[in-house]
A and B are shown apart, each in its own frame.
Chain A
Amino acid sequence: MTRGLTVIVLLALTMPIAPIASAQDVERGEEVYTSRCVICHGDNGDGMGLVGIVHRAQANGLVTTIYPRDFTAGVFKFRSTPSGTLPTDDDLMRIVTEGISRSGMPSHTDMPEADRLNVISFIKTFSQRWAEDEPGEPLEIAAAPSFVGSAESTTRGEGVYATMQCFQCHGETGVGDGPASETLTDSWGDQILAFDFTSGPLKGGSTPEMIYRTFMTGLDGTPMPSYQPAMTEEQDRWDLVSYCLELMRGAPATQQD
């Protein structure tokens, strides 16, 4: 079974590549990969390891299968860099070290730092993009203003949620049941679910700054775009953060259908 990468946003910049790992580093990285990663991400780095389907998510009557990351595409969801760009080594290091909440990606704090760096070097060998492109410039995100989370900001954020049409996917009440939610697919053509804010923590992080970052970077490879161009006012962005936090706070225990 193969999954064709249907959409790759590739900015074919031909810039020189920053620090190149040594052959020994890559070799050690492969050993680590074979020990820790191959079961999900596969021999070819295409996410088709023995585990195959990492898990099935079920919500709003939809059942979707979620595959491990396909490294051959060179497309990454959780970055500090602008939409469409490669992540920084720090971004990859954070994911490898901490894992991704609510996903099959575990933490690797139990591994020496050198091994984590080496495995990142090896992962980069799966996509030619790493040879042709360089990471984007990380977006600078200030600390959340004090008004974030206030009643006024939350109310304004509800308006931004409507204006930006977040409800199209995430639904009027944030449970991920918007009109477009049943037809969402990722860049590999697999059906995916719009996030249900009421279910709690976000994969990309749940602090105000992390939620803000997700608005700015988008989640590459998914229908979640960057709102950096559309949402130009700082005030709007933080107000929307307030509203997302409110949706997450109101989460009841759930009965799934």
Chain B
Amino acid sequence: MKATRLTRWVALAAGALTLTACGPRYEDAPDVLSIVRNGIVPLLSGGRGESGPTGPGISRALVEESGMDFLYASVPSRQSFALLQRAGENGRKITWLSEDGISVTYEQGLLVATRGLGPDLIAASVSGTVAAMRQGGGEARRVHEYLDGNDAIVRVDFDCRINRVGSDPITIYEYSYDTVKYEENCQSGGQRFTNTYWIDQAGVVWKSRQLISPPVGYLDTERL
């Protein structure tokens, strides 16, 4: 009896808070509903609200018309995708940003950071993998850094083997590329993952599937 009354009160209070708070002080305060909508619901449903153009909506003509560089990215585990725009360049690292606040950073086509996904890749060291791929395959060491639930950086060192799978031409929105497919198998303790890259003769990674973090899984990208 008491519990029902309490529940009713809480519901009433929460409802009242979203409806009746007024004055300059509360203008910027997020209401409970939007917190739930933006913060919690996407987590439960595993997506972050697809924004930007949807997959089939992109066309080569539109990309050409804009005259800008784009990256088409998707996170299979969340069934979400987005068109990312070039937003920053630091040495050989390029950062791409989506409209809804997700960024990914590549160093010579290899993923070295993400932001805005939750279990993000904070930073990575991939120079060994880059060198091995240039030689057509080999061994490499790779370092990933993650931010844990207690705000500490966790470092994981992976031992990787890079293999040239073979010639595998691909087509991305009407344009065809003569690419070679590479696979990178990494492990650290009992943890394993496999990254896949499609690279042309000039060394450009046109398409890839690379690990972000275990909870999010892989990131698929194609350069437009």
Q: A and B: real partners?
A: no
Binding site for A on B (CB under 8 A): none
